[in-house]
Structure 1
Amino acid sequence: MSYSKLEGAGWRKRVAMPLLCTAALLVAQSAFAHVFPSKQEPGAGTTVSAPAQVKITFDGPLEPAFSTLDVTDATGKPVTMGKANIDAKQPDVISVPLAALAAGHYTVHWVAVASDGHRTHGDYSFDVK
């Protein structure tokens, strides 16, 4: 094998390894950039006594200015009493107080913006007995 071919193979290895490492880091960063619920109170699909609030704990800190939490009844009417709150001491928890809920079906809609700006959202429902 000639010297130029060996040099070419070494060059490919020197370039390929850093590129692969960079790609792996970018994939890992994007996977951790979004926040998702780790606990919901009341839980999805549950039947509960009328709760005073809905509280969702996420797997990372939230951006308070852009994260929201809304609850509606079966007709789509909001049943929240004020805006959602993210406590500075628990930046991964968002909660919203509720009006006195009658028996029925309720839907929770959340928007979570991570501290790095990545947005996720979702819905779930629960029933009040």
Structure 2
Amino acid sequence: MKKTLLLLIICLLLFPNSTFAHTSLVKSSPSEGEVLTESPGEIVLEFNTKVEQGSQFQVINPSGNGVAVIGISIEDKMLSGMLPQELQGGDYQIHWNIIGADGHPIEGEISFTVKIEQEKTSNEESNQIINKDEQSMEEDPVEVEMEPANPPAMMSTIAIILAILAIVSFFYVIRKGKIQ
């Protein structure tokens, strides 16, 4: 009995992340804070675990209205959809709501900007602007930091261990006949 309990506790302590981890966004296209020089044709969100049916996302334009997205599909860890119309210049948001592999609903937001250059009268002016944009993009790479989804896992692990210990102790005491 003691060996079984010890083995169970060791397993719970060794594998809590894989058992209790929540789904989180790993990468996206467009990515957080990305500045695009042309309208994206597709939105792709990739998560660290399988995404369940019922998951969705919405693209919001600079004036706060939804943009049409067609063919939203879920394939294992990916959620994607096509944009049938070109996006105009401005700041956009992707609001996503998914159901993770653990059954928990999770939501998030990604911001990106579409900067479509106006036609210039001179090709030289256009080339200078594009070169400056490329230099600034090279100098200031955008890094997306994902916060770990593990803090709730530790609390869940502790709660489960305590519950198992209480149950095992209860049955142990009953078996020994100490509760009357």
TM-score bracket, shorter-length normalisation: 0.7 to 0.9
Question: Which residue pairs with 2:48 in the alignment?
Answer: 59
Question: Which residue pairs with 1:30 in the alignment?
Answer: 20
The count of residues paired between Structure 1 and Structure 2 equals: 112
Instruction: Give me the identity figure in percent.
Output: 28
Deviation at 1:105, TM superposition (A): 0.6
More strand by percentage: 1
Does structure 2 retain, via aligned residues, the 8 Å contact 1:42–1:126? Answer: yes
* Mapping for residues 1-129 of structure 1, pairs under 5 Å: 17-18=6-7, 20-21=9-10, 23-24=12-13, 27-28=16-17, 29-31=19-21, 34-48=22-36, 49-64=38-53, 66-82=54-70, 84-86=72-74, 90-98=75-83, 99-129=85-115
Deviation at 1:121, TM superposition (A): 1.2
Does structure 2 retain, via aligned residues, the 8 Å contact 1:80–1:96? Answer: no
Structure 2 distance, partners of 1:84, 1:69, is 8
Deviation at 1:70, TM superposition (A): 0.8
TM-score normalised to the size of structure 1?
Answer: 0.73
Structure 1 distance, partners of 2:28, 2:109, is 11
Structure 1: which amino acid aligns with 2:79? I
Structure 2 distance, partners of 1:78, 1:25, is 45
Structure 2: which amino acid aligns with 1:94? L
Question: Which residue pairs with 2:173 in the alignment?
Answer: none
Structure 1: which amino acid aligns with 2:78? V
Does structure 1 retain, via aligned residues, the 8 Å contact 2:58–2:69? Answer: no
Structure 2 distance, partners of 1:102, 1:44, is 18
Structure 1 distance, partners of 2:50, 2:26, is 12
Structure 1 unaligned spans of 5+: 1-10
Q: Deviations over 1:44-86 (max 9, x none)?
A: 101002101211111121112x211111112211113335211
CA root-mean-square deviation: 2.3
The secondary structure found in structure 1 opposite 2:9 is helix
Structure 2 distance, partners of 1:26, 1:60, is 16
Structure 2 distance, partners of 1:14, 1:56, is 45
Deviation at 1:115, TM superposition (A): 3.1
Structure 2: which amino acid aligns with 1:17? L
